[in-house]
Structure 1
């Protein structure tokens, strides 16, 4: 992959919709690993070959060493007349997800991403994953299945050589059959057998056979979705022509594979609601430290399900900006509010900005805790989710996780001291909007959030206010997603995955590994100092 972008034949124009010109490895990299690189750059050489399949179908097979690439796999899938149109598209998605999973593994191993920063790579996401029709949900579904493959690779015994569950089930079925033949546990002549064994009146042989049969049945039905995903990959590896009995022809199983490969749950946290929470930390004490302590203020809200509405809002802005990450200033500019709120985009760190805007969003929505419109719902969900990451998973955000924890703990203490006597969210919001800011530049995050909330309340009508906030958070969360900390994303897969992990993987395949330095913004040339149009 280090030289994939250099190996496009002169007569081939890369087409992300058909994957023509994209030599993303699908199968065979193990064989390439045995080849020695050649001079002068000591890389594995590139060759091309053609191959006739089943004497009826001609399928070009691009070979990198002996690797099958995704473009040839897609052409072969499209040539299968047995498959329905829906089946073809679903199987292509699974094949693409499998190739992307192999590419994503490089980040876990610390390898350089050779295709990063190239126009061809960005086009793959903007015009391939996200089609011209704006099928944002489809793009997100491909990433979901990709991360399901990654989870299998890291935390299960599934691989592409064979289906472990099928082999185990077959082994147990044969074992039970042989056992039953020998013991005759269900034969009408069983009780005349010398193998009959009783313990306290219980027929041991009979019940051992029953237990083995139950295990076989459980293993036959429990991992159906996993089997289907890997069965399809195995069939594609061998270019096995689909039949009515093959995995690729089972549309019921294909639909199960393509949906809900993770919990699709958004963690939520509201600082103004949970800052006064105190845990007794009994479980960490009983577990002798194996369970982390819950810090003051760490009270997560009820998780909510990810909707197509949020996916579309986040990816729409990415496509409309032609793949340029923005930190929220572009969203404010589109709504003619950048001059009024530019001070809130030039704070010392990204964590400052998340918390200030989270507090401001909560204040702006006071009295409307139940979302009234789509924009209101998107803004509240993304705001509370970013605050949730600050409180619970700071390593997924820019900066060092320890520094983020310290900032969060300090803001919790500020809230406890400054909002004493306020028992409801409404009263806390009102007190924050009435705070007088100091004359110097020593404003706290809580004070700046109160000022921002008061200014946001002045954006009328409410429909416009919700749109501004939804645009801001949809743009800002994507800006926060690039990260070099691949370990935290792999770790969170075991707990059902995070929305931020899916955005991180999507941007990786777009060749975006780092967030840009925003001039005059957070981390820009002014070192985060408040500029002249700040509230102080």
Structure 2
């Protein structure tokens, strides 16, 4: 049979191919239409508006971070600031190009461009850079000028109805960038800042041929003879006296001024010797101004150490008497630490902020910066008035109007408000800073006596001391690390972020998880000062050459300059010599910290068990409980010491005695803080660079993979360590060959078995306070300087105090290639 035609049915695969071709074509059409739509004037304007609002929010966040820079210590916050800095810079560059290439006209574009560039380089007006500008950030002022010129091209090319105020604001911003760049060079060459350390080194040189000061005339009680420089030295006043060319500072003054006791050079003895009402010895209100001047004078000496400028040994002799009398033996502990806070605050300002540039020549440079801010404020107001006159955009302008509201004008008014607020905040920050207070006090003290009381000046100084943006000069926190809670932590996610961020987020090792930081307990400060007083009681001022006790020398550690060494004595154990092995027989500082830390943790667990605390939580529940205890609770210890706020369910058996509570808090907080230093700040402890991390990782591996394997609660870990300790004690003399975990368990069991509850915590609190004093002195001043950038560490306060006393090392640790003055044995 012959068919008239052959029917051909479509193949199923052909249908799929056709559908696929249609799908690809649809996607292409959608993408093409999207690009066409995005290039329409409406969407281009919307994109510019969105990015302008976004970058403004970023600038606001950066501004807040900069204001609270001393109180923000979180690594994520620091990383976020760096990321925001890079992102905002890129967005500003893009917006300048987008506004320039837009095919429509908008008279507000030049205003946005200029204000954005101004925001970008003034958002960190305080912490831009320090005198030495280690990161070269001062050259960003030229990048700012280039972007300002880009804004000028936009104004010139696109045109604007606000030409005169815009050009005025543009010229003013270029002038400010040029001035900031120049004032950095002026501050670097000024006697008061950049060359201060060299001048002080020569000025403080004692000898028969100098008349600046004599050590034998120094009396720390009334500060007589303490001619420490505070303010007033200038290049014109510096003289070199022949024949030995000894530096002295000449103060030019008239006969009448000299008769009235006027001197342009202000030193510490003149501050204390001033008989005017505010600084009179009988006026208690003068303590704050005197403390401020003392802190600044000490900060200038400390800068010598941080800038590697050598000082004579005689300085440390009289400095030790001063620090001991005015700080260490001060009855008011808060006042003593306030002086140290002010000192480190001045040092931080010098290295990491813009304040030294603002005050490089005193009132003159301060007035110049305030004048620039006032003029900028006025020009911005002028620009705002001109914009208000043309609230409705011209017909040829593209504007975004929603429900009758001009979105572009709203954005512009927000810009104007932020610009004005920033200028006001900058002026207030300069005026209520410690530097302004210092200038006022020194101006007041230049006249030793007065015929008529200047109540207006006194009222001004008092009001400036009462006016503060924040009462804290540092964050007041100490970080915490608990080995028995963190040894099994493996930070996989964190280290993935480290790789993704190309190192901006620092890498973490295993078992290095930290607890939340706590405020420095009030009981710690007097405990530390007590140990410092004991350490300074029998300092030997004779120049005996120190011979190293340990022959194991590390050639990588630099030689410490001549200095006093703390004695190889732990007074807390003088009556309990059975624990001496844990301080004197271990090879490094890292071993000592971990052994005492593990022992302290075991004692805390035993203490918590005795008070009915449940420690048997397993796995995830234990970690979750630990997290919320550290992050959300004000009670960071296993035993709730804040009895007044406890619920009935958590209440311990009776109220802890105040003395026991103080010892418990002191021991635990210092134990965890020293462990934190070993884990996160190894440069601040006396061991060489790689030792802390090696000791920690060995201890973590031994605990996780061997001794405490499968122990998933604090209770099980305690029981296991008690078993290990029992066996270690039976081994006798072989104990020092054991690992850190077994050594810590042995020490903890001995304390629990041989001491009563009160005696145990007395030993631990005393030992930890003393260990921190021995850990603090170190040759690595650079590490302390870097920590100041993020608010500083508590140990830096102790390090600075000991350095002022001439102490640069402790004999408790192996002394390697160090020669200096020794200390009498205090046993």
- TM-score range relative to shorter protein: 0.7 to 0.9
The whole-number CA distance in structure 1 between the counterparts of 2:294 and 2:255 is: 23
Instruction: Please name the residue that 2:289 is paired with.
Output: 91
Q: CA deviation at 1:348?
A: 0.9
TM superposition shift of 1:175: 1.5
User: CA–CA distance in 2 between the matches of 1:451 and 1:421?
Assistant: 21
Match runs of 1:193-208 below 5 Å: 199-201=399-401, 202=406, 208=412
Instruction: Output aligned runs, 1:97-496, within 5 Å.
Output: 97-115=295-313, 118-131=316-329, 134-159=331-356, 160-161=359-360, 162-163=365-366, 166-167=370-371, 169-180=373-384, 183=386, 185-186=387-388, 199-201=399-401, 202=406, 208=412, 211-221=415-425, 224=428, 227-228=431-432, 229-239=434-444, 243=457, 246-253=460-467, 259-280=471-492, 281-323=495-537, 325=566, 329-333=570-574, 336-337=575-576, 339-346=577-584, 347-367=586-606, 368=608, 369-370=638-639, 371=641, 372=656, 373-416=661-704, 417-435=706-724, 436-437=727-728, 440=734, 441-496=736-791
Name the stretch that deviates more: 37-46 or 119-128: 37-46
* Greater helix fraction, Structure 1 or Structure 2: 2
What's the counterpart of residue 532 of structure 1? Answer: none
Q: Does 1:21 align with 2:249?
A: no
1:180-223 deviations in whole A, cap 9, x for unaligned? 46x1x456xx6699999773343867864552343322442478
What value does the CA root-mean-square deviation take over the aligned residues?
3.5
In the alignment, is the contact (CA less than 8 A) between 2:686 and 2:775 conserved in 1? Answer: yes
Q: For residues 272 and 419 of structure 2, what CA distance do their matches in structure 1 show?
A: 38
Determine the C-alpha separation between the residues in 1 that align with 2:714 and 2:276: 56
Q: 1:484 to 1:9 in 2, by over 3 A?
A: closer
Supply the distance in 2 between the matched residues of 1:377 and 1:285 (Cα, whole angstroms).
38
Structure 2 CA distance for aligned equivalents of residues 400 and 51 of structure 1: 57
Query: Where do 5+ consecutive residues of structure 1 fail to align?
Result: 526-536
More divergent stretch after superposition (234-243 vs 152-161) = 234-243
Q: Distance in 2 between matches of 1:274 and 1:459?
A: 28
Contact conserved, 2:779 with 2:809, CA < 8 A, in 1?
A: no
Which whole-Å CA distance do the structure 2 matches of 1:223 and 1:497 have between them? Answer: 26
Contact 1:16 1:128 in 2 (8 A): yes
State the shift of 1:127 in Å. 0.8
Counterpart Cα distance in 2 of 1:223 and 1:84: 35
Distance 1:23 1:81 in 2: 17
Report what 2:809 is aligned to: 515
Matched residues in 2 for 1:117 and 1:430: separation?
Answer: 54
Distance 2:666 2:233 in 1: 42
Extract unaligned runs of 5+ from structure 2.
1-199, 447-453, 540-565, 609-637, 642-655, 817-827
Whether the aligned pair in 1 keeps the contact of 2:231 and 2:265 (CA below 8 Å) is yes
- Give the structure 2 partner of residue 531 of structure 1: none
Partners of 2:784 and 2:796 within 8 A in 1: yes
* Displacement after TM superposition at 1:74 (Å): 3.7
What SS does the corresponding residue of 1:26 show, helix, strand or coil?
strand
Q: What is the rounded CA distance, in whole Å, between the counterparts of 2:337 and 2:501 in structure 1?
A: 38
CA positional deviation for 1:81: 7.6
| Residue matched to 1:533 | none
- What's the offset of the Cα at 1:111? 1.2
How many angstroms does 1:48 deviate by?
A: 7.7
Measure, in 2, the Cα distance between the counterparts of 1:451 and 1:219: 62
Q: Which is further off, 350-359 or 38-47?
A: 38-47
Note the C-alpha offset of 1:442.
1.7
Structure 1's 468 and 86: CA in aligned 2 closer, same or farther, altered over 3 A? same
What is the alpha-carbon distance in structure 1 between the residues aligned to residue 474 and residue 321 of structure 2?
27
Contact map agreement 1:101 1:149 (CA 8 A) in 2: yes
Give, in angstroms, the shift of residue 473 of structure 1.
0.8
Alignment-derived partner of residue 71 in structure 2:
none
Report the CA distance shift for 1:31/1:450 in structure 2 as closer, same or farther (over 3 A): same
Cα–Cα, structure 1 residues 157 and 171, in superposed 2: closer, same or farther, change >3 Å? farther
Aligned partner of 1:69 among 245, 252, 267: 267
1:118–1:173 Cα change, 3 Å: closer
C-alpha distance in 2 between matches for 1:155 and 1:380? 33
Residues 523, 191 of structure 1: alpha-carbon distance in 2 compared, 3 angstrom cutoff: closer
Paired position in structure 1 for 2:7: none
Q: For this pair of structures, how many residues does the alignment match?
A: 505
Secondary structure class of the residue paired with 2:266 = strand
Structure 2 counterpart SS, 1:366: helix
The 2-side partners of 1:142 and 1:43 are apart by 32
